Amino acid sequence: MLGGVLLALFGIVALFAPFVIGLSLAIVLGALLVVGGLVHVAAAFSAGSLLGLGWQVFLGLVYGIAGIAVLVNPLLGLTTLTLLVVGFFLSSGFLQLGWAVTGGEGSRTWLAVSGVLGLLLAVLLWVDFPASALWAVGVLFGVNFLVTGVSMILHSRKRRPAAAVETTDEAGQRM
């Protein structure tokens, strides 16, 4: 239950400060890309061939340069993340609509609704781009964390064992 409360609280913070959360996520992404670049370069020394060495070094440079670019300009990383979110909503929206039309299992209606919502979100983010980069990633993470946290709280409350009821036999003895 504590995890759910913390996640829900973090979600609320993210909803009130989406730009700060989005920038923080971009900085974390930049740091991870730099680490990934270092790992690729280190792996190059154990590559079995010259071609493998070349690819590892090349990938290390791509990761490292991208990571440094994001760390130097986190707004660039946030803008890129927003474009990735637009692409995700577009592709998932079209796939869900296609699944609904071609006879997806389960409720076709809910698949279609989800697909349309995904496409609408993509359009809303794209129409407001690049301004949407200032809030979109933080708001989406905030909503996700809040909903996940609340569902964890509700789930943990449902799993809690009921209080033991004390029973007695006919003679008044505890059982």
Q: Is the overall model pTM greater than 0.85, yes or no?
A: no
Q: How is the chain split into domains, by residue range?
A: 2-157
Q: What are phi and psi of 166, to 5 degrees?
A: -80, 130
Rounded CA-CA distance 13/3 in Å is 15
Nearest to 34 by CA among 89, 83, 5, 72: 72
Q: What is the mean pLDDT of residues 15-41?
A: 95
Is residue 22's pLDDT more than 90?
Answer: yes
Q: Is 106 left (phi over 0), alpha (psi -120 to 50) or beta?
A: left
**pLDDT for 67 beyond 80:** yes
**pLDDT tens digit string along 83-108?**
999 999 999 999 989 988 887 666 78
pLDDT tens-digit map of 113-151: 888 999 999 999 999 999 999 999 999 999 989 988 888
pLDDT of residue 167: 65
Residue 74: is the preceding peptide bond cis (ω within 30°)? Answer: no
